[in-house]
């Protein structure tokens, strides 16, 4: 299961809590939190397909060809 899927499951759980909530203010916060988890799921999916590699910079040499 991908991290995006895990965020979607969490969003669905929170959405269900919002649906069951009777206090409108708390319901609004649950709905906002659910949407935030859905945005995290989309970002996690994007991050999963990006391949990032770190290449350290080359060492710098001074006039005498020694490492600084």
Structure tokens at 6: 């895990």
Give the pLDDT confidence of 5-41 residue by residue, as tens digits: 999 999 999 999 999 999 999 999 999 999 999 999 9
Mean of all residue pLDDT scores within the chain: 90
DSSP β-bridge partners for residue 61:
67
The pLDDT assigned to 50 comes to 85
The pair of three-digit structure tokens given for residue 17, joined into one six-digit string: 């809590």
pLDDT the model gives residue 64: 63
| pTM recorded for the entire structure | 0.72
CA diameter of the chain: 76
Predicted confidence at residue 65, as pLDDT, reads: 58
Please tell me the predicted confidence (pLDDT) of residue 60.
Answer: 81
Phi, psi for 67 (deg, rounded to 5): -70, 140
**Helix locations, the chain, DSSP H:** 3-20, 24-49
Q: Is the pLDDT of residue 66 over 80?
A: no
């Amino acid at each position: 299961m991908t991290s995006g899927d895990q965020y979607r499951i969490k969003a669905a759980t929170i959405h269900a809590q919002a649906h069951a909530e009777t206090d409108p203010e708390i319901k609004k916060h649950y709905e906002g939190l659910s949407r935030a988890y859905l945005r995290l799921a989309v970002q996690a999916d994007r991050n999963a397909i990006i391949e990032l590699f770190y290449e350290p910079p080359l060492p710098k040499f001074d006039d005498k060809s020694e490492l600084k």
